Amino acid sequence: MCAVFAVVSLVNISFALAISFERARVGTGQARPSRSFRELIGTLSVMPVVIALFAMGVLLNFCLAPINVVLAPLMLSFGAGPQGYGFAMALFVVGAVLGNAVVGSHYARRVEWDQSIFASLGAVALGLIAVGLSRSLVQVAATMAVLGAIVPFFQVPMSTQLQRIIPTEDAGQAFASLNAVTTGAAPLAAADAGLLLQRMSPAALFYCAGGASVLLCLGWGFFRRQETVAVLAYNGQIE
């Protein structure tokens, strides 16, 4: 099954790569890089924050993969059956709906987008570790509801900021690439979680996912700090 997920992931990612090629109108008919896509890469390459957000969108798949792959065996380990797993996942979705509603509120919009991403990544890390520590259906379900509510505080600010930064003429192709790559990475993340599950307990895998989220959070904080220092230096406010 892990191999199937990996193959599906590679197929999905290939669609993202396919948009960088077009059929030559003359000659041998071989595919060649699209000039417009090269221009897109050139435009985005001078925007480090866009590259960082793209990378985090992909890496977050690997942090959240245990929710889909490892949650069921974790709950079975303390006696909860398939109905319990379905209940916990349903609460995750309910939490996500409520989280999106809160993100769209006036109060939430007053929070800086990069701070929202930093805080949500840290909260996701704590939530994943809390799932690993859970020993009952009630604990898991409550934690999953909170996790579901947290995720929009990363996804919505990321998408909003990308819409602000990326030029309008490049937005369609850029978001198509982002969605294809992040969606394509999901099966690969699931395959990775499945392989790790064969070597460690479900709880330990949630701890590892939480630790990876901590690293992602710290990496984002370091990146934003370095970017701020670079801007201040450019403006002559610091030497």
Question: In the 8-state DSSP scheme, what is residue 111?
Answer: S
The closest alpha carbon to 229, from 43, 48, 56, belongs to 48
| pLDDT reading at 196 higher than 80 | yes
More confident residue, 94 or 26: 94
User: What pLDDT, on the 0 to 100 scale, is given for residue 229?
Assistant: 52
User: What is the CATH superfamily name and number for domain 2-234?
Assistant: MFS general substrate transporter like domains (1.20.1250.20)
Q: How many residues does the chain have?
A: 239
Calculate mean pLDDT across residues 2-24.
50
| pLDDT reading at 124 higher than 90 | yes
What digits encode the pLDDT tens for the residues 171-184?
777 787 778 778 88
Contacting residues for 191 by C-beta, under 8 A, at least 6 apart: 2, 3, 5, 6, 9
Say what the pTM is. 0.79
For the chain, domain boundaries? 2-234
- Number of neighbours of residue 116 by Cβ within 10 angstroms: 21
User: What pLDDT, on the 0 to 100 scale, is given for residue 22?
Assistant: 45
How much is the mean pLDDT over the chain?
A: 79
Calculate mean pLDDT across residues 98-127.
86
Angle at 52 between CA 46 and CA 55, to 5 degrees: 125
Calculate mean pLDDT across residues 14-40.
49
The closest alpha carbon to 204, from 92, 123, 121, 129, belongs to 129
